[in-house]
Structure 1
Amino acid sequence: MNKFKKSISALALAVAALTSNVAMAGHGKCSMDYGKINVTGEGEVKVMPDRATLNYRVMTIKATPDEARKEVEKTVTAFSKVVESLKLDKQAFVADSIVVTASYRYDEKAKKQELVGYEASRNVSIRIADFALIGKINDMAIKSGINQISGFEYSLSDKKKHEKEAAKLAIADARERAQLLADGFEVKLGKPCSLNFQDRHIGVYRAMSNRALAYAAPMAENDSAVVSTYAIEPIVVSSTVNASFNIDD
C-alpha cells in the first residue's frame, strides 16, 4: 500500500514538473504573452543575362518514314558542321531525338482520313555566351535548311550569386518593416521567433527573332547576312522572407 502511494506521489511530482516546464517555456522570448510582429520582406535584383539558348526546329513531310527521317538528319548534320566553325563549347549544340509521325487529312468527298505522308521533325538548341553570334547563327540555320526559328531564352550563369543578393535584400526589408511597426506603435522589437523563405524566383527572359513567327524561306545565293537587332532586357531575381519577432516588455 505504501509502495502504491509512493508511486502516485512520484507520478504527481513528475506531472507537476512537466507542467511547470511548459509554463516556463510559455514565458520565453517567443511567447505570445507580449504579442508578436509578423512581417514579409521582399528583395529583388535585376541582372543582365550572360547566356542565351537559341531554339530551332526542322520539319519535313515525305512519302515514306525513311525519306522523312533522312531529310531531317541531313539538315541537322549540315547545321552542326557549320556551327562547329564557331569554336563553341562542346556541349553548346544539342539536338533532340527525331520524331516521325504519319500525317493525315480528311477527305470530304470520301468521308475518311487520307494519308498525306510522314512528318519528321527535330528540335535543335545552341547555347552561347556571345550574343553577337545570334544573327550569324540564324543565317547558318536557314542556309542549312532549318525551317523554323523558335525564339531565344536568356539566362544567368551564376544564379546562386544573384539569389543570395535578393535574399539579403529581403532579409533587410523584413527587419526594416518590423522596426517600422515597432516604432510606430511605440513598442520594443524583440528577437525573431520564426524565420523562413517563402519563395525564390528567377525570371526567364524569352525573345522572339524577327524570323520566328513563320517558316524561314530559303535564301538566295546572293543574299547577304541579315543584321537583326535584339532588345535584351534584365532578368529579375526575387526573394521573399517571412519573419516573426516578439515584442519585449
Structure 2
Amino acid sequence: MKNLVKSILVIGVGIALLSSCVLGRPAKEEAPVRSITVSGSGSVSVKPDMVSMKFIVKNTGWNCPQTAERNAINTSNTIAAIKEAGIPESDISTYDYSITQDNSHTYAGEYTVRNTIAVLIRNIDLTGKVIDAAVKNNTGANGITSFEYLVSDKATALREARTLAIKNAQDAASLLAGASGCKVNGVLEIREDYTSAGRGNDMMFKAVSMEVGGTPTPIVEGNVTITSNVTVKYELSN
C-alpha cells in the first residue's frame, strides 16, 4: 500500500513538473506584418438629368396673423404655378417654415414669415420654365436659395469611379513598395467615401418681378462629378 501511494505521488509530481514546463515555455512570437497604407482617388463626370431647387416665399409685416395669411396665399400661388409648369405634386414639398420677430431697433416688432418650397425637376428641360413660373409672374416667390444638378442613376458612374480609385491606390502602393525593395502581397483593409457634386449648389437668386412674356430664363446644365476616395492597406513581402 505504501509503495502504491509513493508511486501515485511520484506520478503526480511528474505531471505537475511537466505541466509547469509546458506552461512556462514562452510562446513563439509572430513576426509583425509589414504593410503600407495609400490613398487613391477616381472621378467620373456625367451629364445631369434632374434638378433640385428650393424657392423661398417671404413676407414681412407688423401683424403676425395677417403676415402669415399673406405668406400662405403667396405660397399657394407659387405651388400652383410650379405645378402648371409641369411638376407633379409628389415632387413638391415644404422644406422649411418659420415665423420670426425682429428685435433690432430699426424694425423692432416686425414679423417675418418664410416658407421654403423644395422642387425636384425630373425633366431637366423644364428648369427654365419652372423658374419663370415661380419668380417672374408675380406669384409671390422671392427667390431661389438652392440649385443643384442631380443624376437619377449614378450607379454605373460610381462603379467606374471606384475602379479608377482602386487602380490609383494599387499603382501608388506598387511604386512605393518597389522603390523600397518590397512587393505588394495582398489587401488588408479598404476604406471608402464618395461625393457627387454638380454646379449651382447653394446659389442665391433674387427674384425680379416681371410680366408674362419676358425673356425665358436660360439654363445650361453643367456636369455632375462623382468621386470615389479610397484608403487601402496592403501587406508587403520581400
1:200 equivalent in alignment to 2:194: yes
1:165 equivalent in alignment to 2:174: no
In the alignment, the residues of structure 1 paired with residue 175 and residue 124 of structure 2 have an alpha-carbon distance, to the nearest angstrom, of 45
Matched-pair identity in %: 19
1:81 equivalent in alignment to 2:75: no
Offset from partner CA, 1:31-85 (integer Å, 9 cap, x none): 44xx444432222222222221111111111231111111111111112223223
CA gap 1:146/1:178 in 2 versus in 1, 3 angstroms:
same
Selected match of 2:149 from 131, 147, 154: 154
Selected match of 2:186 from 188, 191, 197: 191
The AA in structure 1 aligned to 2:72 is: E
1:58 equivalent in alignment to 2:57: yes
Q: State the structure with more CA Rg.
A: 2
- When normalised by structure 1's length, the TM-score is 0.76
Selected match of 1:129 from 116, 122, 132: 122
In the alignment, the residues of structure 2 paired with residue 207 and residue 37 of structure 1 have an alpha-carbon distance, to the nearest angstrom, of 37
1:181 equivalent in alignment to 2:170: no
Equivalent residue number for residue 91 of structure 2: 92
Q: Secondary structure at the match of 2:105?
A: strand
Contact 1:57 1:124 in 2 (8 A): yes
Contact 2:86 2:126 in 1 (8 A): no
Could you list the runs of 5+ residues in structure 2 that have no partner in the other structure? 1-8
Q: Secondary structure at the match of 1:203?
A: strand
CA gap 1:8/1:49 in 2 versus in 1, 3 angstroms:
farther
1:140 equivalent in alignment to 2:140: no
Offset from partner CA, 1:183-212 (integer Å, 9 cap, x none): 4455443233x2222532222532587xx4
* 76-85 vs 183-192, which moves further: 183-192
In the alignment, the residues of structure 2 paired with residue 162 and residue 4 of structure 1 have an alpha-carbon distance, to the nearest angstrom, of 72
1:219 equivalent in alignment to 2:218: no
Contact 1:64 1:118 in 2 (8 A): yes
CA gap 1:168/1:102 in 2 versus in 1, 3 angstroms:
same
Number of aligned residue pairs: 227
The AA in structure 1 aligned to 2:210 is: M
The AA in structure 2 aligned to 1:173 is: N
CA gap 1:191/1:62 in 2 versus in 1, 3 angstroms:
closer
Q: Secondary structure at the match of 1:68?
A: helix
- When normalised by structure 2's length, the TM-score is 0.79
Selected match of 1:242 from 228, 231, 234: 231
In the alignment, the residues of structure 2 paired with residue 57 and residue 45 of structure 1 have an alpha-carbon distance, to the nearest angstrom, of 33
CA gap 1:230/1:184 in 2 versus in 1, 3 angstroms:
same
Q: Secondary structure at the match of 1:106?
A: coil
Equivalent residue number for residue 110 of structure 1: none
In the alignment, the residues of structure 2 paired with residue 247 and residue 104 of structure 1 have an alpha-carbon distance, to the nearest angstrom, of 65
